[in-house]
């Protein structure tokens, strides 16, 4: 009869290796999901670092239309306010916007409660209107765009846009 040598701890090492492999597969799946979301939101994976400013012209049979593009998220500073009374609503939204590339200058509570979420950007130029529209779309379909207040809060002094999270 042949004796088989038993290596001590071999079973534990196999389990460790299997667990490590399972964790790596899980991380790969999460990264894949995030990448798919980025591609679906931006149109292509390379558009995340590209500037969006300028104009585009489209020629149709009846004429030419010009569309003004807004600023890229990486070039847009945003102050986020919580007017919903939901704890951490501004911080949660600011973190989501940060993940999209926006530069957050302030998060905090608004002084007056508000119904509905609004976005406003400085200036009435078409580029800023497009920037506000893009920012509003990244927050959600019920977000409305408003005119930037003539006397904004002092905490928005360095922000080009304001997001007010409402009830």
- Paired residues of 80 in beta bridges: 107, 163
Q: In this predicted structure, what is the pLDDT of residue 38?
A: 52
Q: Is the pTM of this model over 0.85?
A: no
Please state, in angstroms and rounded to a whole number, the distance separating the CA atoms of residues 96 and 123: 25
CA 66 from centre of chain: 27
54-110: pLDDT as tens digits: 333 333 444 444 445 677 888 899 999 999 999 999 999 999 999 999 999 999 999
Mean of the per-residue pLDDT values of the chain:
76
- Determine the 3-state secondary structure of 72 from DSSP: coil
Task: State the Rg of the chain over Cα.
Answer: 24
Burial class of residue 160 in the structure, from the number of CB atoms within 10 Å of its CB (0-12 exposed, 13-18 middle, 19+ buried): buried
The pLDDT value recorded for residue 17 is 76
3-class DSSP assignment, residue 49: helix
């Amino acid at each position: 009869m042949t004796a088989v040598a038993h290596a001590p701890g071999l079973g534990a090492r196999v389990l460790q290796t299997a667990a490590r492999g399972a964790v790596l597969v899980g991380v790969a799946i999460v990264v894949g999901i995030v990448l798919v979301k980025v591609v679906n939101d931006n149109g292509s994976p390379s558009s995340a670092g590209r500037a969006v400013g300028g104009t585009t012209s489209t020629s149709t049979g009846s004429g030419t239309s010009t569309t003004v593009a807004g600023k890229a998220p990486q070039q847009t500073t945003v102050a986020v306010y919580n007017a919903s009374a939901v704890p951490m609503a501004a911080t949660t939204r600011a973190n989501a916007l940060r993940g999209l590339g926006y530069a957050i200058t302030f998060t905090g509570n608004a002084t007056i409660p508000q119904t509905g979420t609004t976005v406003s950007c400085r200036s009435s130029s078409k580029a800023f209107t497009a920037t506000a529209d893009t920012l509003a779309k990244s927050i959600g379909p019920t977000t409305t765009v408003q005119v930037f207040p003539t006397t904004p809060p002092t905490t928005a002094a360095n922000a080009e846009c304001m997001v007010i999270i409402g009830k």
